[in-house]
Amino acid sequence: MLKALKLLLECENVLEIRILEWKQTECVFYAKIEVHFNEYILHIREYENTCTSDRKYSYHLQNAEGNLIIRFDNAPHYKNVETLPHHIHMGEEIQPSSEITPEDIIEKILKIIESGGLKT
């Protein structure tokens, strides 16, 4: 997660990073972060338990009006996605996701923002 935060800190499009929660123990890490851009807000939730190899995440990018642009998450509710549990929400559409590390997800989101968002 620290590498992903470093990518955000180095991005000139980031206006503000708000760390809403940050908890760390010997085995468990949890972060809830809000990242503000000119026209977008990125909501990050990242949970990892290294003792049990459990990880849950959600990276939700929305525009200033609150409309979903894209969300990466690993909630196991789309059984037909080939990358189960990892998937992407783009509007009502669900797609497989090869981006599963925090760094890969942040890099993909930054590319979307730098290109002016997803074309619908």
pLDDT in tens, 3-18: 898 999 999 999 999 9
| Mean local confidence (pLDDT), 67-96 | 94
Neighbouring-strand partners of residue 88:
72, 95
Query: Is the pLDDT higher at 120 or at 57?
Result: 57
- What pLDDT, on a 0 to 100 scale, did the predictor assign at position 119? 56
- What pLDDT, on a 0 to 100 scale, did the predictor assign at position 116? 80
Helix (H) or strand (E) holding 56: strand 54-63
Domain ranges of the chain: 2-114
Helices (H), the chain: 2-10, 102-114
